[in-house]
Structure 1
């Protein structure tokens, strides 16, 4: 950091300390409590359909920040457009004839294998892309990595759109997967690093919601193509235009993100500070927050980031691939986060049935009696439902209800919907043949159709938000992009396995058996979710302290480990404040030492010491900047 900023930081700290240097014992009860008076109220009295930004300067929520988040958030559409497009392509007559999906010489199992290979090839490439992201996201930086990936994405799409054989189609889809696999590390990591803590969940859910923007675009592209472009030409040959035109949405999205990144995006200050570019980091953070470089909020945030960077550099003098692998294996806390929390979110989320519903939507609609082009129309409606529910979760749930409550709602709702669908397939198998004559069976068929739509809604509220968000919150800065890349490898490996297995799973277990299996996975997920920590509103740097707790106490982290980060000591008030800046108050009480009594799981009172650093110690830390 520049000497000017360091001088301002020291000057600001001295000014704050000079105004109050006598410990007031009458405040002891306030200090020892990890909750404010507002937080002590019952949940139903505190609930509002808005994010709580109390205490944060209003300038930090600005157009510059939102535009940068918007561009990186759109990156989520890369995966979504492919899933929506391939789902409809598999039902387009021209695509089916072109790539041998209607070949009468092939057996039912051979057709299922070909279909699963086409659908899952992007997921296979995405595994490689996620592995590449382990180094590329940190090597290039978040912004340059985004631009490189857009170019790879366009190359893959170009190969697909000119395909003359199924082999060329595989190659194009694999290369597109190399790009898509990196998007799921670049987008969420960037947004976790630049978003202020009150809207960090919302920012990540913009990425997750963009997946369904892409799916909706892909579904409608196929539906429109099926309506307006005939499958055959006048001479009886295949009209390739019917399926090729659906790839235009990918060109548009990739080009839009690439161009917008040069005008609207700002590099992550956390990445800059990690790579020794302190002056540039302060400058970029100042632009993102719309505050001067010597503002107490900027100083506090940079101090928090720098403290974590210094601690990580002390622990690992050099960052290497082997060193990172060693850290995630030998450090118990990080291993738990990677395997149980991050890995669990991917395994349970991907095998909950949501991916199967998205990619094979047209076939699932056929099982409840929907026929012909109506299958594509219903798929398009499903895309709209998922799109709006994803953004409803982003703006009204994830940072308001919290991560865990949203996950509970999503898992329970998805489980009930898939259970109804499985029971319907079990009791009314003739619906798949389009034969539903009984009035009660027709009503049940309508209910099964609604169950598919609602399962998508609950998925976007629950697992869809968590699977991208959680990995970017729980890991320290030094290995954040590396660990997120490993989690995304698990994400795409499980998605590949699910996409590949689904056609044969429905043959081997019958359609209803596959969905009973998904319901069982969701039951396990409900138990897993109970032990997760609630990280809503915490600064990224304070989350590391949460994982000093034993695994069974993580769910009580907000009671046992309050957020002591510098950024949460800077409060926006209606008065002038004690920092020399209008409306900015530095909370001195949070600097005072305290010992909190917590009750362990056996019921006996044990002293669990959480000693808050004194203002002198914090000043020493600030001088290190």
Structure 2
């Protein structure tokens, strides 16, 4: 239902936007963008949460990372649509902007239709006190019998985790969820992780590089608007491929934390090179009449290649993990609320960064920090983010959503470096305890059976 509602808002907003643009109504344009934003803004909450709740732990990273990678499918379509319209359509006609904008309606329509094939999350059904329906859905998703051992055990784990959460709830209703999110130490640390992920990822500059790619490529030496759009479209393909590589070969193989650190390392190398190049040739992006000397063309192409590499790093690291970590860290009862908090921060920082970067790129004489200063700023935030991930972020790969609590039993300064090892020790102790209980029950059952036979 949430998926269909967001699609409705999405289409309604875009329809108002297009109608306002055709009629020349600025108020309708703003209203349409706002309503469409209310719909689109729900997708990074509904999508990752749903996927993380229905996917098995062994491939949860792959599935959620495919979601984050699908963003680049939209980016590639948008880039090439803009390029095709710039080449083939009259620059003064309505179709030049109506055709690219109509892609929103097509995508929202496809999602709306496919939502009728979507099953409800088993964890949501358990939360709604419908365990039998949850078992039916789980059996369908796992291709197992409804009353089979696997489905029964997984539903029991979900129910047990939810019961523990409800027992520990500090209040009732939504107020109780807010108190649980902000006043429980383990949840507060998770909130700290998701907040810092959004802050450091957005201000590392990769989102603005995507948004202002044509302008940045122009600063680095690409001339001609059509050439700039084509280079930008290729940039989108590079990021899409990198996201798919991360989903298929990294996130569930080497783990979330190592994938994130690898992406940050690539991003740091890239922005440091670009910052150094712009420092060596300070006229770029500052002096409008400056022509790049032929001797520096090779370094310019290297800087453009580094922009592509930064896109790979972003897709492998921050962009994939900002959705995945947010969706899988929190307990079931507050997962949707906490993810909404994280995505609100995501869009707030994205908006702030998108507004700040054009000013940052201005020369110092115009109250900016220049292109070189902007990329040095990106480099500093990226390096800070790498250190923070190493120190603060625990490894969550391969762990069921119900066992995440074990990562946060340690003091806050040990969670990032020792949380996973501590959780694995607790897993072994829990399994040993369950095995002992099963063995005792088996011995009692055999004894009772023997006494019955003797009798």
- TM-score, length of structure 1 as denominator length: 0.66
Question: For 1:422 and 1:166, how far apart are their aligned partners in 2?
Answer: 38
Name the structure 1 match of 2:349: 494
Checking the alignment, whether the CA contact within 8 Å between 1:592 and 1:613 is kept in structure 2 is yes
| 1:129 corresponds to | none
Hey, what's the Cα distance between the residues in 2 that align with 1:317 and 1:429? 57
Determine whether 1:533 maps to 2:394.
yes
Gap change, CA 1:558 and 1:329, over 3 Å in 2: closer
Matched with 2:9 is 152
The verdict on how the C-alpha distance between 1:590 and 1:497 changes in structure 2, with shifts beyond 3 A counting, is: closer
Match of 1:592 among 402, 427, 432: 432
Distance 1:444 1:591, change over 3 A: closer
Match of 2:453? none
Does 2:157 align with 1:304? yes
Residue in structure 1 matched with residue 450 of structure 2 by the alignment: none
Structure 1 residue 614: Cα displacement = 4.4
Q: Is the 8 A contact 1:539 1:563 kept in 2?
A: no
Partner of 2:130: 277
Distance in 2 (CA, whole Å) between partners of 1:452 and 1:392 is: 18
TM-aligned CA deviation for residue 320 of structure 1: 2.4
SS at match of 2:222: coil
Map of 1:460 onto structure 2: 315
Say if 1:564 and 1:590, in contact at 8 Å, map to a contact too.
Answer: yes
Assess, with a 3 A threshold, how the Cα gap between structure 1 residues 494 and 189 changes in structure 2: closer, same or farther. same
Whether contact under 8 Å (1:386, 1:457) holds in the other structure is: yes
Q: Could you tell me how far apart the structure 2 residues matched to 1:178 and 1:248 are?
A: 17
Q: Paired residue for 2:86, among 226, 230, 234? A: 226
Distance 1:188 1:467, change over 3 A: same
- Alpha-carbon displacement from aligned partner over 1:7-55 (angstroms, at most 9, x marks no partner): xxxxxxxxxxxxxxxxxxxxxxxxxxxxxxxxxxxxxxxxxxxxxxxxx
In structure 2, the partner of 1:558 is 420
Match of 2:213 in 1: 361
Determine the structure 2 residue equivalent to 1:419. Answer: 272
How many angstroms apart in 2 are the aligned matches of 1:147 and 1:330?
34
SS at match of 1:561: helix
Is this contact kept in 2: 1:538–1:563, CA < 8 A?
A: no
Q: What is the CA distance between 1:448 and its match in structure 2?
A: 1.0
Structure 2: tracts of 5 or more residues without a match: 363-367, 442-455
1:384-412 deviation line (CA, Å, top 9, x unaligned): 11111111111111111111111111111
Is the contact between residue 170 and residue 180 of structure 2 (CA under 8 Å) also seen in structure 1?
no
TM-score normalised according to structure 2 size: 0.90
| Other-structure match for 1:69 | none
| Paired residues of 2:131 and 2:155 also in contact (CA < 8 A) | no
1:425 to 1:167, Cα distance in 2 relative to 1, 3 A: farther
Distance 1:290 1:434, change over 3 A: farther
Distance in 2 (CA, whole Å) between partners of 1:488 and 1:319 is 24
1:183 maps onto 2:36 in alignment: no
State the secondary structure of the residue aligned to 2:361.
helix
CA contact (8 A) 2:161 2:402 kept: yes
Aligned equivalent of 2:372: 512
Instruction: Give matches, 1:100-111, under 5 Å.
Output: none
1:320 is matched with: 173
> Is 2:198–2:345's contact at 8 Å kept on the other side of the alignment?
yes
Mapping 1:364-379, distance limit 5 Å: 364-371=216-223, 372-379=225-232
Deviation at 1:166, TM superposition (A): 3.7
Aligned counterparts of 1:561 and 1:526: Cα–Cα separation in 2: 23
**CA shift at 1:501, angstroms?**
1.3
Judged with a 3 Å threshold, the aligned counterparts in structure 2 of structure 1 residues 381 and 306 are, in CA distance, closer, same or farther, namely same
Aligned ranges for residues 22-171 of structure 1 at < 5 Å?
Answer: 144-162=1-19, 163=21, 164-171=24-31
Aligned counterparts of 2:425 and 2:343: Cα–Cα separation in 1:
28
Residues in 1 aligned to 2:186 and 2:234: alpha-carbon distance in whole angstroms: 43
The structure-2 alpha-carbon separation of the partners of 1:311 and 1:247, relative to structure 1 and needing over 3 Å to count, comes to: same
In structure 1, the partner of 2:447 is none
Shift of 1:435: 4.8
Q: CA deviation at 1:613?
A: 7.7
Partner Cα separation in structure 2 for residue 317 and residue 561 of structure 1: 25
**Greater shift after overlay, 493-502 or 423-432?**
423-432
1:224, CA displacement in angstroms? Answer: 0.5
CA contact (8 A) 2:9 2:35 kept: yes
C-alpha spacing 1:471/1:437, structure 2 compared with 1 (3 Å): closer
Whether the 8 Å CA contact 2:171–2:177 is kept in 1: the answer is: no
Gaps of 5+ in 1: 1-143, 233-238, 570-588, 594-611, 620-625
From 237, 242, 247, the counterpart of 2:96: 242
Cα RMSD (Å): 2.0
Kept after mapping to 2: 8 A contact 1:542/1:564 = no
| Aligned mates of 1:240, 1:197 — CA distance in 2 | 48
Change (3 A) 1:437 1:336: closer
Counterpart CA distance in 2 for 1:469 and 1:363 is 31
Deviates most, 156-165 or 249-258: 156-165
Aligned pair partner of 2:184 in 327, 331, 334 = 331
CA distance in 1, matches of 2:27, 2:439: 63
Report the alpha carbon displacement of residue 480 of structure 1 after superposing the two structures with TM. Answer: 0.7
1:252 counterpart (99, 106, 111): 106
Tell me the equivalent position of 2:241: 388
Change (3 A) 1:613 1:490: farther
